[in-house]
Amino acid sequence: MFHLPVCPHCGTVYRYKDTKQAIKNKENECYHCQKRFRAKVFPTILVGAILPVALSIGLNIFLLTRMTKFRLLPLFAITIGFLLVIYIIIPFFTQFKKIEDESKENNRKKRK
């Protein structure tokens, strides 16, 4: 699922910047078809984040054992680098879901 999300109504592919904005807004309107949708980040991003975090921890431990003098700056830079990677890939783990109109939901309830 490593791709940018598409509008659930018309299939318009969203750009990286637009996806980041949609995540912040939660409920959005497609700029192509003007229909509403909700942006949701997959829980699998947590699984995808485990790998960079584990690599960061492993690299930090390796550097600590191999360095003659304890320097905090390289370890800090490595950790920040891996956290930036996680932050950058979040839009690729986003999905847009349709929002049903309240009027349609009310009509369905009345029919039942």
Express each pLDDT in 23-68 by its tens digit. Answer: 888 788 888 898 999 988 877 666 667 777 788 788 878 877 877 6
Q: Identify whether the C-beta of residue 78 lies closer than 8 Å to the C-beta of residue 59.
A: yes
Is the predicted pLDDT of residue 17 greater than 80, yes or no?
A: yes
Helix segments in the chain, DSSP class H: 16-25, 44-66, 72-89, 102-111
**How much is the pLDDT for 46?**
66
Residue that wins the pLDDT comparison between 11 and 72:
11
Entry pTM = 0.62
Q: How far apart are alpha carbons 100 and 10 in whole angstroms?
A: 15
The DSSP symbol for 92 reads: G
User: What is the chain's length?
Assistant: 112
